[in-house]
Amino acid sequence: MVITDDEEGYRQHQRNKDEWGQRGWDALNRVCRWFEDQGVSALPCEPK
């Protein structure tokens, strides 16, 4: 990918950061659901 200007670089950085954050929340929810499946309901998980 070739970034042509500062504004496009900033937007790409923000998209990458948002995608990284979403992947982290998805992983956390998978762990949370695993604990719920084991019978532990200490944390509120997002719906499946």
Per-residue pLDDT reduced to its tens digit, 2-23: 556 788 888 999 999 999 999 9
**More confidently predicted of 19 and 42:** 19
29: left (phi over 0), alpha (psi -120 to 50) or beta: alpha
Which pLDDT score, from 0 to 100, does residue 3 have?
58
Q: How confident is the model at residue 1 (pLDDT cuts 50, 70, 90)?
A: low
**Residue 45 above 90 pLDDT?**
no
pTM: 0.67
Contact (CB, 8 A) for 37 and 28 = no
